Amino acid sequence: MDMQIKKVITPTPGRGVVIAGPCSAETEGQVMQCAKDLAKLNQVDLFRSGIWKPRTRPGSFEGVGKEGLSWLKRVKEETGLRTTTEVAKASHVYDCLKAGIDVLWLGARTTVNPFSVQEVADALSGADVPIMIKNPINPDLGLWIGAVERIYKAGITRIGLIHRGFSYHGETIYRNVPRWQMAIEMKRRFPDLQMVVDNSHICGNRHMLAEVAQEALNLNYDGVMTEVHPRPDEAWSDAAQQITPQVFGELLQNLRLRKPTVDEVEMEPLTELRRQIDEIDADLIGMIGRRMKLSDQIGEFKAERNIAVLQSDRWEEVITEASKKGSAHGLSEDFMNAYLRAIHQESIDHQDAIVNRG
């Protein structure tokens, strides 16, 4: 789909987009104190706060609801900060438009459900309000793309992306693993869409917030969305990942915004390095192609002798030896495992086709 996308936010030159505020609007006093403290930083583009909070299980704090919109309206009137909040259904959209909320966002639990996205899109029809879309909970690029397309078809042209990480079943240092490559692919497909990182939801803790925010800026993200609370330890939701406005100000001071590009003279060394990488990539693709031809010959051999395609002992031997060689060249175990599994699966597919044909 050919899209004509406009910016959600035009950031101040020299810094990225900054979105900050509490995970949840709890009381009017809490919201106003946080907003006033953030306004003093003179760096915040949008004040964020959840009014409706979709929780995994009933009984948890699910937001103050419509009442909180009047608090956000007061934030804008008294501090000058523009406001943003999450919407998950049509009634949320209508209430936010009436309250003059500046930017709306779709949460990960909404993006994962095309029915919910379409309901929101229908409610937005005819409106002129920017929308930011978080990645779905699960690492499904199609759902994220589909959400963008549905919102765009509703007539919304100011659309942005929020990368908040993906659910992962297993041990990990993150609350939601970043899977940077998926977000980068999304940005490649939609280069005109601004993308900010929700470092709070990726980390799930305070001590990694700066590291993840800087990693996103290193990857040419447009900015950050961070949860900030005047008294984080007392927060009614996601306390562990929230920080005070003062700490957030320090985080912003230490972030380095990377240049997306440089002039031709400066680019010459980088251009040469990229040329060498392109040559190596071409060689690698050719070598993998030759490897698959050998795999085809092995498949023919197995088909003629009625031998099983998968040889577990051989596979273990390949993993062990290749991982050692990879380590000697500075390649991580995770990378080697992913690479070998992809190569092995392609070989299996080739040999399956040959055996079945026979």
Q: How far is CA 33 from CA 76, 101, 200, 245, in A?
A: 13, 19, 20, 10
| Residue 55 pLDDT class (50, 70, 90 cuts) | low
pLDDT tens, 261-280?
Answer: 656 567 678 778 888 898 89
CA-CA-CA-CA torsion sign (250, 252, 253, 256) = positive
Q: Which two tokens stand for residue 46?
A: 């949008």
Angle between helices 180-189 and 141-153 (to 10 degrees): 30
Same domain, 196 and 97: yes
| Residue 260 pLDDT class (50, 70, 90 cuts) | low
pLDDT > 70: percent of the chain: 96
Backbone angles phi, psi at 139, to 5 degrees: -75, 70
Burial pattern 288-317, b for ≥16 Cβ within 10 A else e, equals eeeebeebeebbeebbeeeeebeeeeeeee
Q: Which pLDDT does position 261 carry in this prediction?
A: 60
* pTM for the model: 0.79
Same domain, 26 and 111: yes
Same domain, 274 and 239: no
pLDDT tens, 110-124?
Answer: 999 999 999 999 999
Question: Closest Cα to residue 113, out of 134, 94, 95, 96?
Answer: 134
Structural domain of 44? 17-254
Which residues does residue 166 pair with via DSSP β-bridges, in sequence order?
177
Same domain, 231 and 288: no
Helix (H, G, I), strand (E, B) or coil at 356: helix
Same domain, 52 and 178: yes
For the chain, how many structural domains are there in total?
2
Residue 159 placed within a domain: yes
Higher pLDDT pick, 337 / 138: 138
Same domain, 107 and 237: yes
Same domain, 109 and 65: yes
Q: Which two tokens stand for residue 191?
A: 């280069």
pLDDT tens, 185-205?
Answer: 999 999 999 999 999 999 999
* CATH code for the domain in which residue 243 is found: 3.20.20.70
* CATH code for the domain in which residue 287 is found: 1.20.59.10
Residue for token digits 């080739």? 350
Question: Closest Cα to residue 232, out of 24, 2, 7, 8?
Answer: 24
